[in-house]
Amino acid sequence: MTLRAGIVGLPNVGKSTLFNAITQAGAEAANYPFCTIDPNVGIVRVPDERLQVLAGMVHPGRIVPAAVEFVDIAGLVKGASQGEGLGNKFLSHIREVDAIVHVVRCFEDNNVIHVEGGIDPGRDIEIINLELILADLESVEKRGDRVAKMLKAGDKRAKVELNLLDRLKEAFDQGKAARTLSYDPEEKEILRSFPLLTLKPVLYAANMSETDLAAAEENPYVLKVREVAAGEGAGVVVICAQIEAEIAELDEEEKALFLRDLGLQEPGLDRLIRTAFHLLGLMTFFTAGPMEVKAWTIGLGTKAPQAAGTIHTDFERGFIRAEVVSYEDFVRCGGLNGAKDKGLVRLEGKEYVMNDGDIVHFRFNV
């Protein structure tokens, strides 16, 4: 499972600069086969120091980190939900991603014109959110007409769905996103077959200038972004897209020196990726052997057979049990054999819920 995040924002907010940094830092940049316009995709490795530690112990033929796909979704402007700026095509691209990275301009620059005439993060966020809400409202109204007919035909589940659609419509009329509501299990099941743009998790990237970055937490623009995000249950990462683009061009030694001079511990891109992981409720387990050390991405609460299925469907279909050791125990004991000697390698069955950092060998038979 690879996290797919769509980057959105108004023109001239730094979105392209951030995406360029991503593609320079990533393993590849390529066209991505979406609908009628092909957005670009930057594929980047998920930063995880545990991989290097495991590789130093196991000495594998290769190291395979988890990856994130960042999709560059351009052109969202006022009226996108009615097709302005090719809005309908770009909205369709958003439907294909797991999460939205909303780049918000938090810097002043007279050389970079703002399409709305001035810097106002709250207004800018509202413009994008309103277009997504309007698109969802149209979808809900169309679906409501169909479900009403199903209710007349005696479909028992239709009543539950119609109540859900009425609740969503009321929220949209108030300018609220679908993700701000709570849902019972039956409603969640209905929503799985009815993807809404405003149901997707959002991570706001507050894009600042290099000169303002040191005082980011006191910046009124950033504070406004955090205020909006808190009301939605969304995440926030403060970045400087221009710095990220510069960092991405450096080798590891130069990068370390550059970050130290700026007083930063790590690139903002690393924080963005980790925050996106947390936002989506994702975690990592590892397989480690002489062939490769590899990170695998799964959702919180995933059971062992389903985790095995991320490696290969046969692993899940023929699952017998999993040999599991925690990353901490593996490292502390000097490897798998040491962990076995201390009785720290467990045999787990089909009901075992995976933990972040588990190192696993799956046994299966098909």
Instruction: Count the helices and strands in the chain (H runs, E runs).
Output: 14, 13
Q: Using an 8 Å Cβ cutoff, are 207 and 114 in contact?
A: no
Tell me: is residue 17 an annotated ligand-binding position. Answer: yes
Tell me: is residue 13 an annotated ligand-binding position. Answer: yes
pLDDT value of residue 35: 32
Tell me: is residue 159 an annotated ligand-binding position. Answer: no
110: Cβ contacts below 8 Å, ≥ 6 apart? none
Query: And the tokens for 150?
Result: 């199903």
pLDDT tens across 60-82, in order?
Answer: 999 999 988 888 886 555 554 45
pLDDT of 83 strictly over 60: no
Instruction: For residues 251 and 235, give the distance between their C-alpha atoms in angstroms, rounded to a whole number.
Output: 30
pLDDT of 206 strictly over 80: yes
Domains of the chain from N-terminus onward: 3-118+201-279 (3.40.50.300), 132-198 (1.10.150.300), 301-364 (3.10.20.30)
Instruction: For residues 178 and 311, give the distance between their C-alpha atoms in angstroms, rounded to a whole number.
Output: 33
Query: And the tokens for 161?
Result: 């769905």
Q: Using an 8 Å Cβ cutoff, are 38 and 92 in contact?
A: no
List the one residue out of 11, 124, 17 whose CA is nearest residue 75: 11
Tell me: is residue 88 an annotated ligand-binding position. Answer: no
Q: Using an 8 Å Cβ cutoff, are 191 and 198 in contact?
A: no
Q: Using an 8 Å Cβ cutoff, are 93 and 82 in contact?
A: no
Q: What is the mean pLDDT of residues 362-366?
A: 92
List the one residue out of 279, 291, 292, 283 whose CA is nearest residue 326: 283
pLDDT tens across 16-48, in order?
Answer: 888 888 877 543 333 333 333 456 788 888 889
- Of 106-115, 141-150, 291-300, least confident by mean pLDDT is 106-115
Tell me: is residue 14 an annotated ligand-binding position. Answer: yes
List the one residue out of 201, 217, 189, 240 whose CA is nearest residue 13: 240
Tell me: is residue 16 an annotated ligand-binding position. Answer: yes
Strands 359-364 and 319-325: antiparallel
